[in-house]
């Protein structure tokens, strides 16, 4: 349908007014019963999950983090652009493989 052929929207021909309290009153006054029984669920993580949630000393290498912070602060951080590019290409390749396997 072309824009030129679109019929004009007609104005509202009839406007009705109503008291908003009428609708609210009728809904409020209805007695709606709901079931009162609520089922409770419980969850307890497995021992492996508990172990994985505990902080480990090997999670963060604090010395390496401090070294990187200082290098950034003093503008001496050496970037290995080849390593970064290889990582980006590897990630893109893995994404393409996952998309291909989904189809």
Q: Does residue 94 fall inside a structural domain?
A: yes
Residue 88, pLDDT above cutoff 90? yes
pLDDT digits (tens, 9 = 90+) for 15-42: 666 766 666 566 666 666 666 777 788 8
pLDDT interval class at 63 (50, 70, 90): very high
* 67 closest CA partner among 56, 57, 77, 52: 77
Contacts of 45 (CB under 8 A, 6+ apart): 53
Q: Is the pLDDT reported for residue 4 higher than 90?
A: no
Helix (H, G, I), strand (E, B) or coil at 25: helix
Q: pTM value?
A: 0.33
Q: Categorize the per-residue pLDDT at 66 as very low, low, confident or very high, splitting at 50, 70 and 90.
A: very high
Total number of domains constituting the chain: 1
Would you place residue 3 in the very low, low, confident or very high pLDDT band (cuts 50, 70, 90)?
A: low
In the chain, which ranges are continuous DSSP H helix?
Answer: 20-29, 47-53, 62-73, 81-102
Q: Could you give the C-alpha distances from 62 to 51, 54, 65, 72, 73, in angstroms and in order?
A: 21, 17, 5, 15, 16
Q: Print the domain residue range for 98.
A: 78-102
pLDDT over 90 (residue 93): yes
Query: Is residue 90 a part of any domain in this protein?
Result: yes
Q: Is residue 96 part of a domain?
A: yes
Residue 36 in domain: no
Is residue 51 assigned to a domain? no
């Amino acid at each position: 349908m072309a824009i030129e052929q679109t019929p004009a929207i007609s104005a509202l021909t009839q406007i009705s007014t109503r008291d908003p309290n009428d609708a609210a009153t009728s809904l409020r006054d209805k007695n709606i019963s709901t079931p009162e029984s609520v089922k409770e669920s419980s969850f307890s993580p497995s021992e492996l999950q508990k172990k994985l949630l505990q902080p480990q000393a090997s999670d963060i290498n604090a010395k390496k983090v401090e070294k990187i912070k200082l290098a950034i602060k003093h503008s001496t951080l050496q970037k290995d652009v080849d390593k970064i590019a290889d990582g980006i290409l590897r990630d893109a390749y893995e994404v393409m493989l996952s998309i291909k396997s989904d189809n």
